[in-house]
Structure formats: structure tokens, C-alpha cells
Amino acid sequence: MRATVMYGAGDVRIEDVPDARLIQPTDALVSVARAAICGSDLWPYKTMEHSDTGRRMGHEFIGVVEAVGTDVRTVKAGDVVVSPFLWSDGTCVFCQEGLQSECLHGGRYGLDEVDGGQGEAVRVPQADGTLVVLPVGRDDALMPSLLTLSDVMGTGHHAAVAAEVGPGKTVAVVGDGAVGLCGVIAAKRLGAERVILLGSYPDRIALGTGFGATDVVSERGDEAVERVRQLTDGLGAHSVLECVGLEQSTHTALSIARPGGAVGRVGLPQEDSVPDAIATFFKNVTIAGGPAPVRAYIEELLPDVLGGRIEPGRVFDRVTDLDGVPDGYGAMNDREAIKVLIEL
């Protein structure tokens, strides 16, 4: 079968790889129908050292179950399924607490004989705990929005939950990438009265406004902080969603939280320490977040996608086939595309 392999920074290839197959009795074999390139795939695209063997890529996908192992009970051949970006057993202590991202028997795609999502098929471990059956056909018009349940919509929702978004609150979203834009959707969905989007790309801002952002701050650094203060009577936002992960964006997020507020971090931190420890201490600011347990959120978000009440699939502004994936990485890296959908 064919799949995406990264050999180093800027070096993404579509290659023949061994066919995905069942190995464990808890596995499902899924033929991929839609996949995506993630903003987090751009970190290795920028920095990965050359590897002779390469690294299989992709962790967001929807597909059709081709076969299941003998222990699998909740999915069967022919089911259309979405996978969260991590696999998990659904039964361990952390899964039962809704923190499937810390599953004791879970893991990541693209490692240890588990295929990546950007390919023709995937062996999905712990299929019962991982996969969610979708009540739609393989080529349903809702596919782009359903695909966001594998990562970006669940991650934006996690940021909003961690930032304690609720009715009547003022929310600020730092970052206008796909996750930040889904964070706008999530904040609005959870009842935020005001959603301030911090971002600077016109196409992304337009999308964010369409998703419910009430204010846009395009300044950066201290000017952005000052602008948010002006917009909030000098108080800051109750809830801040940090959807970038850089030191500067984290500093901005922590600086615009009002006393007693909360910052939900879902941008992968690029620094080892959290800035502003003293200032946030004296403001009683909660700092929360981490890798999103998106599996915990799929059932909650799915009815709103099926009912058309939220349309996170609009973050996909480019569609390609598998052969176009290397160009898709380039387009996202050059900010020519917000997020790339792969159709198989």
C-alpha cells in the first residue's frame, strides 16, 4: 500500500510500504477514506534530522473497517469510523476518567508497527476503545467536519474546557490556526458572550468571525496585550485558549487572563518552562491544558456536527489526493493553506 513517509525537514514522500494488517486480536484494519495534515506535523517538517528509514506520518483519519480481530466487539467490517489522534483501550483508570490521552495501554500512530493516518490503510490497536462508528456513508458531505473530531475540533474544545469557558464569559483565543479557529467554535458553543480572536491572517480572521469571534486583535506582543485590556475595561479575559505553544504566545495568553481567570493550553510547548510565574501567581490564574483526550469529546460534539450546528470542517481550505500530500505540507508550512484535507 502507499503511505506518507517523512525523511527529514522538508522531505516528505509518498511510498510503497508493507500492507497494514491485523496483528493483535484487539486490532481493526481500517481503509482510510479521509485524512489530514496537522499543524503539529509541521514541527518535524521544520526540524527533523535526516533519517534513513523515515517516519510514517498522520494521525487524523476517517475510514471504513475492513476487518477486525477476534476480541473486537464494537466495530465491524463495513462500519465508517473516525479515530482520535491517539489510540486507547477505553477501560483503564485514565480512560474511565475521560483522559484517554493518558491511557495506560494506548499510544500514537506512526510508531511501533502502527501505521500513520496519511496512507491507504491503518492497523488501529485497541479498536473497541479507540474507534467511533459514524452514522454516515463513506462520502457524506459532512466528512470534513467529521474529520475534525479526530483532532482539531476536540483540541479546540479541550482548550475551552481547560480555560473554564462558560455562559456570559469573555474569552480570548491566541492563535488563528485550525485549532484556534475550532477554539472559537468551542467557546461560542459553550456560551461565551464575547470571543476575542488574536490573529493576523485575513482569511483566518474572516473564518474566525464567521465562527463567532466578536473582536479581532491583530497586534502582537505587548501591543496585543494592551489591546485586549482596552477591550475588557482593563480587566482581561475570563478564559484564554493558548493554541500556538511558542514562548511569545504563551506570554501573551498569560498576560491577558484576568485575575481569577484560566488559561487552557493546547499548543505544543516549545519551551521547557512556563513564563510569568510570578505575575500569574499574584493574579490567581489557573494554568491548565495539555494533549486533548479527543476520544472523550467525540460523542458530545458529534450531534452538533451531524445537525449542522457547528461546521469545523470549514478550516480545510485545500483538498488533495495522496500524491499531493508533500505539496500540502509545503502549503501549510508557507501559510498558503490553513489545513489540508486528503481524499483517498
The footprint of Zn ion (CB under 5 A) covers 88-89, 92, 95, 103
Q: Quick one: 92 or 262, whose CB is closer to Zn ion? A: 92
| CB 125 to Zn ion: min, Å | 11
How many other CB atoms are there within 10 angstroms of residue 66's CB atom? 15
| CB 114 to Zn ion: min, Å | 16
Contacts of 291 (CB under 8 A, 6+ apart): 86, 101, 266
Q: Quick one: 296 or 315, whose CB is closer to Zn ion? A: 296
The single residue listed with the C-alpha cell 510500504 is: 17
| CB 89 to Zn ion: min, Å | 4
| CB 116 to Zn ion: min, Å | 21
| CB 166 to Zn ion: min, Å | 28
| CB 28 to Zn ion: min, Å | 16
| CB 293 to Zn ion: min, Å | 10
Q: Quick one: 129 or 177, whose CB is closer to Zn ion? A: 129
Which triple of cell numbers denotes residue 40? 503539529
| CB 93 to Zn ion: min, Å | 8
Q: 330, 340 in Cβ contact below 8 A?
A: no
Q: Quick one: 126 or 232, whose CB is closer to Zn ion? A: 126
Q: Quick one: 100 or 145, whose CB is closer to Zn ion? A: 100
Q: Quick one: 295 or 314, whose CB is closer to Zn ion? A: 295
**What region does 110 belong to: left with phi over 0, alpha with psi -120 to 50, or beta?**
left
Distances (CA, A) of 79 to 5, 25, 223, 243, 274: 27, 18, 51, 33, 43
Q: Quick one: 40 or 88, whose CB is closer to Zn ion? A: 88
Q: Phi then psi for 343, rounded to 5 degrees?
A: -105, 130
| CB 90 to Zn ion: min, Å | 6
Sign of the alpha-carbon dihedral angle for 126, 131, 137, 138: negative
Q: Quick one: 22 or 92, whose CB is closer to Zn ion? A: 92
Q: Quick one: 88 or 280, whose CB is closer to Zn ion? A: 88
